[in-house]
Amino acid sequence: MKYIGYTQEEAAEKWARQHLGAKGAPSLFRALSTVHDDGTFACVILLTNFTERNIDINIAADCIFTPKISVQLFNGAFKMIFEELGAARTTGLIADTNILSQRFAEQIGFVKEGTMRKAYDQDEDVHIYGFLNDEFKTHNWYRS
């Protein structure tokens, strides 16, 4: 697996939307990614819905990746969100049935902030996770 950063953003965004089952396409996005040895996408971090205060983060992956790749990916995403764009926070929405993603979000520093009831298809609940700029500056990601 190889970290490719912000190269191939348009293809990465399309792959992430297909992988996540997302409808429509964001008008503004940044896509940070890794690829398998054969060049196919392994993981894409898609940043969307940019406001002065918040940027949404979406993660699509088809494999488990190494700690080194994780650090490269999330440092790249968090530095873009907090240092380059100056957002106060990033928000991730995770389906109630996606327990692995909820655990992963919490492991990398996100805090569960609430639940939107019946917000997804088939009346599934969705959990709101947030990660603040101040938390990033004191987190292990920042020091890596």
Cα gap 26→13, rounded to integer Å: 9
Whether the predicted pLDDT of 144 surpasses 60 = no
Which helix or strand (DSSP H or E) is residue 99 part of? helix 99-107
pLDDT value at position 125? 95
110 within 8 A of 131, measured Cβ to Cβ: yes
H/E element holding 56?
A: strand 54-61
Predicted confidence band at 103 (pLDDT cuts at 50, 70, 90)?
Answer: very high
Q: Is the confidence at residue 32, as pLDDT, over 80?
A: yes
In this prediction, residue 130 has a pLDDT band, given cuts at 50, 70 and 90, of very high
64 pLDDT exceeds 80? no
108-130 average pLDDT score:
93
63-88 average pLDDT score: 86
* Residue range of the domain that includes 48: 2-143
Q: What mean pLDDT do residues 80-98 have?
A: 94
In this predicted structure, what is the pLDDT of residue 102?
93
d(CA 82, CA 136): 8
Q: What CATH number did the domain enclosing 28 receive? A: 3.40.630.30
66 pLDDT above the threshold of 80: no
Task: Specify the pLDDT at position 141.
Answer: 63
Structural domains of the chain, count: 1
**Residue 34: its H or E element:** strand 30-35
